[in-house]
Homo-oligomer: A and B are copies of this chain.
Amino acid sequence: MARRTKARAGAAAGAGAGARAGATPERIVGAAVRLFAAKGFDATTVQEVVDAASVTKGALYHYFGSKDDLLFEIYRSLIGRQMADLDRIVAARLDAATTVRRILVSLVETTAESVDETAVFVREMHRLNADRMTSFRAERRRYHETFRSVVEQAQEAGEFSSAVPADTAVLIALGVVNQLPTWYRPDGPKSPTQLGAEIADFILAGLRP
């Protein structure tokens, strides 16, 4: 395993003059996400990715060191967005109920608009190599801990019931969201915001003292 990983690439955008409509690296990642979500990482060939992105293998390997790098790029951008949202919400220092509600609504919204990314993520994260797996776990742990401490502090302050461990509540909340790609349909009757609100209602009802 452990290939060389050119390490350059990433989102080296168009640079030059007027960034063209579809910058090549972004087109490649976009096609990859769609295909990986539809058929799985291993079942998708590099050739299919480049065909879907209307580029050639040369272009792909010019920007990405390996097929795995493509996968990692998908994770990085998704986790980045989610962590940023979480930090922003927690930093606002609102009351616990509002904070929990905002976290869940925002999470459901992001997940809904990135169903493919999330589906790939949930299904294929175990393919990360040791290094990346470690850094990924650290991020996820941070997300989990941040969320948990919001719940825990509210429990200590008596704002939330302590009947159920904060851990369990967080696990339940994040569980739904990660499963969302299996049942969510963009053309379904409920908007992501509505869904997020319903989920938040339920979780908050479970935490009511």
> How many copies of this kind of chain does the complex include?
2
Cβ of A202 < 8 Å from any Cβ of B? Answer: yes
Contact call B164/A202, Cβ cutoff below 8 A: yes
A170 to chain B, nearest CB (A): 10
| Size bin of chain A's contact surface | 35 or more
A161-209 residues at the B interface, CB under 8 angstroms: 161, 163-165, 168-169, 171-172, 174-180, 182-183, 195, 198-199, 201-203, 205-208
> Which residues 16-57 of A sit at the B interface, judged by CB distance below 8 A?
39-43
Residues of B within 8 A of A161 (CB): 205
A198 in contact with B43 (CB, 8 Å):
no
Contacts of A180 in B (CB 8 A): 175
When distances are taken between beta carbons in the complex, the residues of chain B under 8 Å from A8 are none
Closest to A144 in B: B183
- Closest residue of chain B to A203, judged by CB? B206
| CA of A161 to CA of B76, assembled, Å | 40
Q: Say yes or no: A165-B42 contact (C-beta < 8 A), given A175-B178, A179-B174, A208-B205.
A: no
Complex CA gap A99/B43 in Å reads 41
**A168–B202 touching, CB < 8 Å:** yes
Bound state CA distance, A130 and B40, in angstroms?
16
Identify A169's interface contact among B123, B183, B195, B202, CB under 8 A: B202
- Name 15 extra pairs, CB < 8 A, besides A165-B198, A175-B180: A40-B42, A40-B127, A42-B43, A123-B124, A163-B201, A168-B195, A171-B176, A172-B175, A172-B202, A172-B203, A174-B179, A175-B176, A175-B178, A203-B206, A205-B208
Binding site for B on A (CB under 8 A): 39-43, 122-124, 126-127, 161, 163-165, 168-169, 171-172, 174-180, 182-183, 195, 198-199, 201-203, 205-208
Q: Which 8 interchain pairs have the tightest Cβ spacing?
A: A42-B42, A175-B176, A206-B206, A175-B179, A205-B206, A175-B175, A164-B202, A202-B206
